[in-house]
Amino acid sequence: MVDGIALIGFMGCGKSTVGKELARRLNYHFIDLDTAIEHGEQMHIPQIFAQFSEQYFRDLEHQYLTEQRPHRVVLSCGGGLPIFARNAQLLQENWCTVFLDCSFEACYRRICHSTRPLVQNSTPDQLRALYDSRRPLYENCCSLQIAADSSPFAVAGDIIKQLRLHRH
């Protein structure tokens, strides 16, 4: 029985949106790690990047990941989390890690007007290069890869089907 499902993938692939829907349908707890950090630190992520640094955020991200317990939980990770070996190792050891594989075009459409610091501070070409460099790392880290250009409802349904999960 799969107890802890971690969703990974590029910004805008739908980890937070699909994660909420998946948790609802499985009757699992939903944890969004970005939101957990924002609540815990009482700061928004763009503020953490600006006032401290990206490295400071990455250390928080690792710390909050270590604190999660994979029991009846859907965990939506930040887009950069699995890029770091120490996080990829934790995901591989403790979680059923699902890569939401969404085209760059769809991700970009969904995030281009957002306040995500990496979106604000990059050109579209730089974001595409980041997408291309990260994709193999998501593929390496995951135990399941799911096409994620369709609706959140359909993507959540595909995950349930592939993992042979059912509501209980």
Ligand X SMILES: Nc1ncnc2c1ncn2[C@@H]1O[C@H](COP(=O)(O)OP(=O)(O)OP(=O)(O)O)[C@@H](O)[C@H]1O
Query: What does the per-residue mask of binding to ligand SKM show for 78-97, with x meaning CB under 6 A?
Result: xxx-----------------
CB contact set of 66 (below 8 Å; sequence gap of 6+): 90
Count of residues making up the chain: 168
Determine if 68 is a binding residue for Mg ion (CB under 5 A). no
Please state, in angstroms and rounded to a whole number, the distance separating the CA atoms of residues 72 and 57.
26
Determine if 152 is a binding residue for ligand X (CB under 6 A). yes
Determine if 134 is a binding residue for ligand X (CB under 6 A). no
We find the least distance from the C-beta atom of residue 69 to ligand SKM, in angstroms, to be 20
Determine if 87 is a binding residue for ligand X (CB under 6 A). no
| Helix axes of 15-26 and 152-162: crossing angle, nearest 10 degrees | 60
The binder of Mg ion chosen from 6, 16, 45, 74 (CB under 5 A):
16
Please state, in angstroms and rounded to a whole number, the distance separating the CA atoms of residues 130 and 133.
5
Comparing CB distances to ligand X, the nearer of 76 and 90 is: 76
The binder of ligand X chosen from 25, 58, 72, 110 (CB under 6 A):
110
We find the least distance from the C-beta atom of residue 21 to ligand X, in angstroms, to be 9
We find the least distance from the C-beta atom of residue 76 to Mg ion, in angstroms, to be 5
Within a 13 Å sphere around the CA of 74, how many CA atoms are in the beta-carbon half?
A: 22
Please state, in angstroms and rounded to a whole number, the distance separating the CA atoms of residues 92 and 2.
13
How distant is the alpha carbon of residue 121 from its chain centre? Answer: 20
Task: Tell me if 107 sits within 8 A of 13, measured CB to CB.
Answer: yes
Determine if residue 19 is labeled as part of a ligand binding site: no
3-class DSSP state of 99: strand
Comparing CB distances to ligand SKM, the nearer of 19 and 70 is: 19
In the complex, the residues that contact ligand X under the rule CB under 6 A are: 9, 11-17, 34, 76, 78-79, 110-111, 116, 151-152, 155
Binding residues for Mg(2+): 16
Which residues are annotated binding-site positions?
Answer: 12-17, 34, 58, 79, 116, 134
